């Protein structure tokens, strides 16, 4: 698309936060990550419990998509 005059695709930071939160919402809704004793297909959570921004990501997803 660059040849048609469009610039390089980017993901805005506020969108990235929503999507990270949404991924985690769906992992938890569908049984949890296997590393946490869950049954979902993901081996690990999308967002580590140690990530200082985890709650920000979850809050962004809740605002955009609602709570699962």
> pLDDT at residue 23 above 80?
yes
pLDDT at site 1? 56
Distance of CA 39 to the CA centre of its chain: 18
> What's the structural domain count of the chain?
1
> pLDDT at residue 11 above 80?
no
Domain holding 30, by residue range, is 11-65
Q: How many C-alpha atoms does 68 have within 13 Å on its Cβ side?
A: 14
Mean pLDDT of 2-17: 76
* Cβ-Cβ contacts under 8 Å for 20 (sequence gap 6 or more): 46, 47, 57, 61
- Condensed to tens digits (0 to 9), the pLDDT of residues 40-64 reads 999 999 999 999 999 999 999 999 9
- Inside any domain, residue 16: yes
Measured CA to CA, the distance from residue 44 to residue 46 in angstroms comes to: 7
> pLDDT at residue 65 above 80?
yes
- Inside any domain, residue 43: yes
Measured CA to CA, the distance from residue 35 to residue 28 in angstroms comes to: 12
């Amino acid at each position: 698309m660059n040849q048609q005059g469009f610039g390089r695709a980017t993901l805005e930071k506020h969108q990235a936060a929503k999507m990270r939160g949404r991924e985690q919402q769906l992992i938890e809704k569908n049984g949890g990550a296997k590393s946490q004793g869950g049954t979902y297909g993901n081996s690990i959570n999308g967002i580590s419990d140690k990530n200082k921004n985890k709650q920000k990501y979850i809050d962004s997803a809740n605002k955009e998509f609602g709570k699962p």
